[in-house]
């Protein structure tokens, strides 16, 4: 296990745990097991959503959206004014926006989504286990 995975896993485990504990404390359900199951499910919800969004971002789903908005900004009137002022102050400071293919190949490597997904899955499995035990 790498240290970045361990740090991501523990961070999302802690965030989910805090959310679950807050729900458990402020819930008005009188039945203890319902509060516990609901708090574990809610603790799993946010890390799983964050890990899912990171997974989708790693696939490159948002790349076209980001590239198109940068292209629109580049050809807008506001950007021309900004670019002219910027060239006077610091020449060659505005990067040239190439083709979409060049943009995709120049992307930075994004962090893995395994930490948040595993942290959320742990809480979800505990919630499902307690749900099946109470039936």
Residue 70 and residue 94 in contact, taking contact as beta carbons nearer than 8 Å: no
Q: Based on the fold, state whether residues 53 and 117 are members of the same structural domain.
A: yes
Please tell me the distance from the alpha carbon of residue 131 to that of residue 134, in angstroms, as a whole number: 5
Domain hosting 46: range is 1-60+109-135
**Number of domains composing the chain:** 2
DSSP, collapsed to helix, strand or coil, labels residue 34 as helix
**Higher-confidence position of 117 and 88:** 117
Read off the pLDDT of each residue in 85-108 and give the average, rounded to a whole number.
65
Are 6 and 45 in a shared domain?
yes
Model pLDDT for residues 26-54, shown as the tens digit of each residue: 988 889 999 999 999 999 999 999 999 98
CA-to-CA separations, 10 to 75, 93, 109, 120, in angstroms, rounded: 44, 40, 21, 11
- The alpha helices in 1-135, defined as continuous H runs, are 3-26, 32-59, 63-74, 77-89, 100-105, 114-133
Q: Answer yes or no: is pLDDT of 23 > 60.
A: yes
For residue 96, pLDDT over 80 is answered with no
């Amino acid at each position: 296990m790498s240290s970045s995975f361990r740090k991501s896993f523990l961070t999302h485990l802690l965030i989910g745990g805090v959310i679950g504990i807050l729900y458990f404390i402020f819930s008005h359900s009188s039945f203890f097991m319902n509060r516990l199951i609901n708090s574990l499910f809610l603790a799993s919800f946010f890390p799983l959503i964050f890990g899912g969004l990171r997974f989708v971002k790693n696939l490159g789903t948002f790349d076209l959206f980001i590239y198109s908005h940068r292209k629109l900004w580049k050809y807008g009137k506001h950007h021309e004014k900004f670019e002219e002022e910027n060239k006077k102050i610091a020449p060659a400071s505005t990067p040239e926006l190439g083709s979409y293919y060049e943009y995709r190949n120049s992307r930075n490597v994004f962090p893995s989504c395994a930490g948040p997904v595993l942290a959320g899955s742990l809480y979800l499995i505990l919630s499902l286990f307690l749900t099946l035990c109470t039936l």
